[in-house]
Amino acid sequence: MRDLLEGIEDSVPGDDPVARARAAQRTPLPKRFYTDVSVGEGEGGFTILLDGRPVRTPARRLLAAPTRALAEAMAAEWAAQASEINPFFMPLTRLVNVALDRVAPEADAVRDEVVLYAGSDMLFYRAEGPQKLVERQAAHWDRVLDWMNEAHDARFFLAEGVRHVAQPEAALAQVRALVPLAPLALGAVHSMTTLTGSALLALAVAEDRLTVDEAWVAAHVDEDWNREQWGEDEAASARRAARRTEMDAAARLIRLLA
């Protein structure tokens, strides 16, 4: 089978879903050539079959899932394609592709990056004012820090403003222990970390301590405050909506792996 997603997914570096969507508009989309979508089972796990033939990732790995639920969810994305195959309406498939092709070969480096985010996590840096913003940050962020402290004995230092504060190595070691080892779960946590700017929010979702809605609101406390004061920027809203699609896919992937 020809590589359906190669070129489209790699046309824009980085993690900007809006930029990738615009690139896809400039890239001719492949025509849907298959009729039947099904799920097969083999040594590699559960696979997506198009007219009986397995789908492969852009790096030519077998697109396989460890659970039938995840495979069926990806198969539904393939089945929902109309006359053209648009990967930007297939967020689960894209995330699994990234996990298999990019995360799995560099799993240690990806885990290191999540821990690096935790070292300067947004939850540690609090506004000096106004008071309502200070209170809003505390309302959404303190519960995550309390969970890390009470459940994992990880205590962090907080700071006002943007002055960097080094975090205790023992606390970061607890963060590392929570970062998944399996490539698909690791890819989902890494995606949520980069989308929210917070490894702790990503891990709270992965550990079922926050819903994806709660984590998303917590990640945008400062942004929402500014929107309330100065109004909404249309381009920023479009970027946020695209990122939310990615966030929902990552959180859903975690659930489908269970």
Question: Max alpha carbon distance in the chain (Å)?
Answer: 60
Let me know whether 22 and 80 are in one domain.
Answer: yes
**Which of 41, 56, 90 is the last residue before a domain boundary?**
90
Which parts of the chain sit beneath pLDDT 50?
1-3, 7-14
Let me know whether 66 and 185 are in one domain.
Answer: no
- Looking at residue 17, its pLDDT comes to 58
88 near 24, Cβ under 8 Å? Answer: yes
Let me know whether 61 and 116 are in one domain.
Answer: no
DSSP state at residue 12: S
| Tally of domains in the chain | 2
pTM for this entry: 0.89
Let me know whether 85 and 151 are in one domain.
Answer: no
**Which of 90, 113, 136 is the last residue before a domain boundary?**
90
- Looking at residue 20, its pLDDT comes to 57
* Structural domain boundaries enclosing 26: 17-90
The reply to whether 57 falls in a domain is yes
DSSP state at residue 168: P
Let me know whether 70 and 125 are in one domain.
Answer: no
For strands 64-65 and 53-54, give the pairing.
unpaired
Q: What is the CATH number of the domain that holds 134?
A: 1.10.3580.10
Let me know whether 64 and 29 are in one domain.
Answer: yes
- Looking at residue 181, its pLDDT comes to 97
- Looking at residue 236, its pLDDT comes to 85
